Structure 1
Amino acid sequence: MVDTDPSSARADWRLAVSAYVGALAGGMGGVVASIRSPAVVAAVLGCAIGFAIGGSVGVHLADRIDELAVRIGRNRRRRWSLGLPVVAFAALWLRSATANAIRWSGEIALGAAVALLLVGWVVAALARAVYVTATVPDEPILTVPWEPPGSVTADLALVGIGLFVAAANTVDGDRSIAILSVGFAVSRAIASVIEARVVPLRAATSPEIRVHDAGLVVQRPFTRSFVPWDDVRHVRLKDGELVLDRGIRDVRFDRDELGDPDGLVASIERASPGTVLPAG
């Protein structure tokens, strides 16, 4: 939702919220249907109907509550609250596995937990980006190109391993491990996009670091994070790294990842005088 194209940004947010509420309702519908009937068809229909209804409700919420993204993205506690249904479905899966309950209800609960975890991650990332956009409206003092760390090759390898394990366990009949393995594979694909190791062609912005009067914005094509100067003890360019000391949660960038590290340090000193320590 942080694309500079407003229509594309809104579409991303609506899709994510719709998928989240759809996964929640679909999981509930599938579990209830599987408990009432042992037929696989009943469970599939329950999931499908629940997802359709939940997805429609999600679109409605995203359209009608304009401040929803800002409210969710305001702090870590609210973003983590998106995971509460995950805990409920995971507990249902564990109870089903240990109590010899109807097999499909447990596996549907596990699938719903994995789906909600993944989609909730995306919703939280987009919400955080919207919050940063709303709270840092001023033009940046300096914008520096940035190459996010990580390896696309490693991500692809992990996706492949996850899918291979899922296929092998499906053949062996262990569907729970297969579901978890698919979730792992999808999580690596999502991470590549969220962390900007893979940038879709339609992305309107490139990864960059923006220095503002209020703090530092780490900009990716679909997400943003904000480091206010009030939270930064000091900044130092040392041993090939730019380090923003925040106590236990330092922010670090390799010098080679930054298009203009010296200019970035000078702009930080301008925005937050006395923060930058001598290099050494």
Structure 2
Amino acid sequence: MATRNSTERVALGDGGDGPSDRRFRLAVAVYAGALVAGVVSVAAVLTAFVPGPLSAVYAAGFAGGFVGGLAVAAADPRLPVRLGRTLGRRAAIVVPTAPFVVVWFAPLEAAVDVVALWAVITVFASGYALSQLAGNRYVDAVTTGEPAERWRWTPPGSPVVDALLAGMWLVIGIGDVVTGSPAQGLLWLALAVFWVASCLVEGRWSFGPGRDRCEVQLYETGLVKRRLYTKTFVPWNEIGHTRLREGELVLDRGLRDVRFDSDELGDPDAVLEAVDRWLETSAER
């Protein structure tokens, strides 16, 4: 059984030019482009130094950031695995959104608010997509081959609640646009779109293509929760204890326990038995 250190060495040594790597490089380029364009545009408006149309300033910043991001991603084939290895690193990708939020909330002129809000939306959306791609790339690097065991899994979620939330944000956004607050309306509309997209990507809604891809997969290196387009990896040596109690399967993992309701799994007892078996094997190695 591979230890965590050996698993990470394998992952960090993994680099290639497959479809997932090309998608990652494109995501890095788009993210860098959105970030640079946001910084340049906000700085231009704040300093009143706009050498041309603001759209041209934004386009130039995006183009420069895109090319730079593409070069950085191409220069380090291990970058996706490095970024995707920990939750902290994936979360750090969207942290640059914070300064734009501060600028947007600051009592500045309307032009600054519009540019800052657009930067918040584009940097957060591209950063979120990049973080998910990096996480998937790391999981692929440490779980080579087919899973040793797998079970169908229904991701938790309430389609009714999700639809109500998205609908509420949509109505608020349209209302703001109609009443003369287009910037606030854009934010609410972006939230509605993001929520619907996340529901489909994570498989929280029971319709849509690829629903059968949602699984709990067991590999030699650990457990994977696979959703439609995202994956979460839990190494065996991070699981301290397992239990099935009150209709819930719990894998103790410190502050980030892994939990499954019994109705999410076809046979929770079989999953628990298999996890315990892999944990025992892992401890013996």
Partner of 2:215: 208
* Mapped partners of 2:153, 2:219: distance in 1: 16
1:28 corresponds to which of 29, 32, 39? 39
Q: 3-state SS of the aligned residue for 2:213? A: coil
Deviation at 1:78, TM superposition (A): 1.6
Q: Is 1:160 the counterpart of 2:171 in the alignment? A: no
How is 1:45-84 mapped onto 2 (pairs within 5 angstroms)?
45-84=56-95
Q: 3-state SS of the aligned residue for 2:232? A: strand
* Mapped partners of 1:22, 1:192: distance in 2: 26
Cα deviations across residues 37-94 of structure 1 (Å, max 9, x unaligned)? 699x822332233233333433444344321111111112222221332122122223
Structure 2 vs 1, CA of residues 84 and 239 (structure 1 numbering), >3 Å: closer, same or farther? closer
Partner of 1:278: none
2:242 corresponds to which of 235, 246, 250? 235
TM-score by length of 2: 0.80
Q: Is 1:186 the counterpart of 2:193 in the alignment? A: yes
Partner of 2:30: 19
TM-score by length of 1: 0.81
* Mapped partners of 2:49, 2:258: distance in 1: 52
Q: Is 1:123 the counterpart of 2:130 in the alignment? A: yes
Deviation at 1:152, TM superposition (A): 3.4
Q: 3-state SS of the aligned residue for 1:242? A: strand
Partner of 1:3: none
2:105 corresponds to which of 81, 88, 94? 94
1:133 corresponds to which of 122, 130, 140? 140
Deviation at 1:248, TM superposition (A): 2.9
Q: 3-state SS of the aligned residue for 1:51? A: helix
Partner of 2:178: 171
Deviation at 1:123, TM superposition (A): 1.3
2:231 corresponds to which of 224, 232, 241? 224
Structure 2 vs 1, CA of residues 153 and 58 (structure 1 numbering), >3 Å: closer, same or farther? farther
Structure 2 vs 1, CA of residues 12 and 190 (structure 1 numbering), >3 Å: closer, same or farther? farther
Q: List alignment gaps of at least 5 residues for structure 2.
A: 1-16
Q: CA RMSD in A?
A: 2.9
Q: List alignment gaps of at least 5 residues for structure 1.
A: 1-5, 276-280
* Mapped partners of 1:207, 1:242: distance in 2: 17
Residues matched between the structures, number: 264
**Conserved? CA contact 1:43–1:104, under 8 Å:** no
**Conserved? CA contact 2:152–2:212, under 8 Å:** no
**Conserved? CA contact 2:203–2:211, under 8 Å:** no
Q: 3-state SS of the aligned residue for 1:273? A: helix
Cα deviations across residues 121-176 of structure 1 (Å, max 9, x unaligned)? 22112211211221233643311111111133433332232222112112223244
Identical-residue share of aligned pairs (%): 34
Moved more, 141-150 or 248-257: 248-257
Partner of 1:148: 155
Structure 2 vs 1, CA of residues 207 and 86 (structure 1 numbering), >3 Å: closer, same or farther? same
* Mapped partners of 1:260, 1:12: distance in 2: 35
* Mapped partners of 2:262, 2:213: distance in 1: 18
Partner of 1:111: 118
**Conserved? CA contact 1:31–1:43, under 8 Å:** no
Partner of 1:9: 20
Structure 2 vs 1, CA of residues 192 and 71 (structure 1 numbering), >3 Å: closer, same or farther? same
Deviation at 1:253, TM superposition (A): 0.8
* Mapped partners of 2:72, 2:266: distance in 1: 40
Structure 2 vs 1, CA of residues 204 and 72 (structure 1 numbering), >3 Å: closer, same or farther? farther
* Mapped partners of 1:220, 1:245: distance in 2: 21
